[in-house]
C-alpha cells in the first residue's frame, strides 16, 4: 500500500492558495476603511466618505498596503494639482474677467504652478522615506489651496470663488495624505 503523505502537503497548499484569495482582498479593502476611519476620528480635516471614495477609486488601491496607500494619495494630489492648474489656465484664456477676478486667478495660477513643483518633491521624499520632508511639502500644498481660496474673500467680498470645490478637494486630499504619513511613522 502506498503511503498517502504526498497528498497532505498538497492539501495544505490548496488551503493556503484558496485562503490567500479570500483573505487578501478583504484585508486590503478593510485597510482603506480602517485608515479613513482612524484619520477622520483624529483629524477634523479628513472626512471619512471623501477619504474612502478617493482611495477606493484609485487603480490598484484595493491591494495596496499602507505604504502603497500613501503613495496613491500623493499621486491623487498630483493629478488634482495638475488638473486644477490646467483648469485655471483655461479660465484665464477663454473668459473675460474683471480686474478683481483676473488678479486672483493669476495668483491662484502661480500658487498651483508652485504646488506642481512641491508635489513632485513630496513624491520623491515619500519614496526616499523622508517622511518629515513629505509632511512639510504636503502641508505647503494645502496652504496653497487655502491661499488661493482666501484671495477671493479679501476685503469682505464674499463673491464666490470659481475654484472653491477644487481648493476644497485639494485640501482634503492633502489632509488624507498627511494622516497616512502619520500612521506610517507609528
Ligand atoms: C481631486 O481628487 C478628488 C478625490 O480623489 C476627486 O474626487 C476629484 O475629482 C479630483 N479633482 C480633480 C480636479 O482632479
Ligand atoms: C467684489 O467682487 C466683485 C466681483 O465681481 C468685484 O467687481 C468688486 O470690485 C469686488 N469688491 C471688492 C471690494 O473687492
How many independent structural domains does the chain possess?
Answer: 1
The residue count for the chain: 186
Residue 9 has a pLDDT of 55
Domain CATH number, residue 121: 1.20.140.40
Domain limits for position 123? 72-185
pLDDT in tens, 39-69: 999 999 999 999 999 999 999 999 999 999 9
Residue 97 forms part of a structural domain: yes
Is residue 98 lining ligand 2, measured as CB closer than 6 Å? yes
pLDDT in tens, 116-173: 999 999 999 999 999 999 999 999 999 999 999 999 987 666 568 999 999 999 999 9
**Alpha helices, DSSP H, located in 95-130:** 99-127
Atom of ligand 2 nearest to the CA of 154: 14
Residue 142 forms part of a structural domain: yes
Tell me the average pLDDT across 15-30: 53
Is residue 177 lining ligand 1, measured as CB closer than 6 Å? no
Residue 12 forms part of a structural domain: no
Q: What are phi and psi of 28, to 5 degrees?
A: -70, -40
Amino acid at each position: 500500500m502506498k503511503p498517502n503523505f504526498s497528498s497532505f502537503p498538497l492539501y495544505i497548499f490548496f488551503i493556503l492558495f484558496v485562503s490567500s484569495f479570500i483573505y487578501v482582498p478583504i484585508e486590503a479593502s478593510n485597510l482603506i476603511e480602517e485608515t479613513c476611519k482612524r484619520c477622520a476620528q483624529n483629524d477634523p480635516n479628513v472626512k471619512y466618505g471623501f477619504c474612502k471614495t478617493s482611495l477606493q477609486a484609485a487603480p490598484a488601491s484595493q491591494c495596496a498596503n499602507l505604504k502603497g496607500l500613501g503613495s496613491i494619495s500623493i499621486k491623487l494630489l498630483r493629478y488634482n494639482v495638475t488638473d486644477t492648474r490646467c483648469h485655471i489656465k483655461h479660465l484665464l484664456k477663454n473668459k473675460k474677467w474683471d480686474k478683481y477676478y483676473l488678479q486672483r486667478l493669476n495668483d491662484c495660477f502661480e500658487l498651483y504652478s508652485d504646488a506642481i513643483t512641491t508635489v513632485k518633491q513630496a513624491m520623491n521624499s515619500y519614496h526616499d522615506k523622508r517622511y518629515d520632508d513629505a509632511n512639510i511639502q504636503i502641508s505647503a500644498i494645502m496652504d496653497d489651496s487655502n491661499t488661493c481660496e482666501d484671495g477671493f474673500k479679501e476685503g469682505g467680498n464674499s463673491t464666490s470663488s470659481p475654484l472653491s470645490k477644487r481648493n476644497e478637494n485639494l485640501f482634503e486630499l492633502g489632509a488624507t495624505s498627511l494622516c497616512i504619513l502619520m500612521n506610517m511613522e507609528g
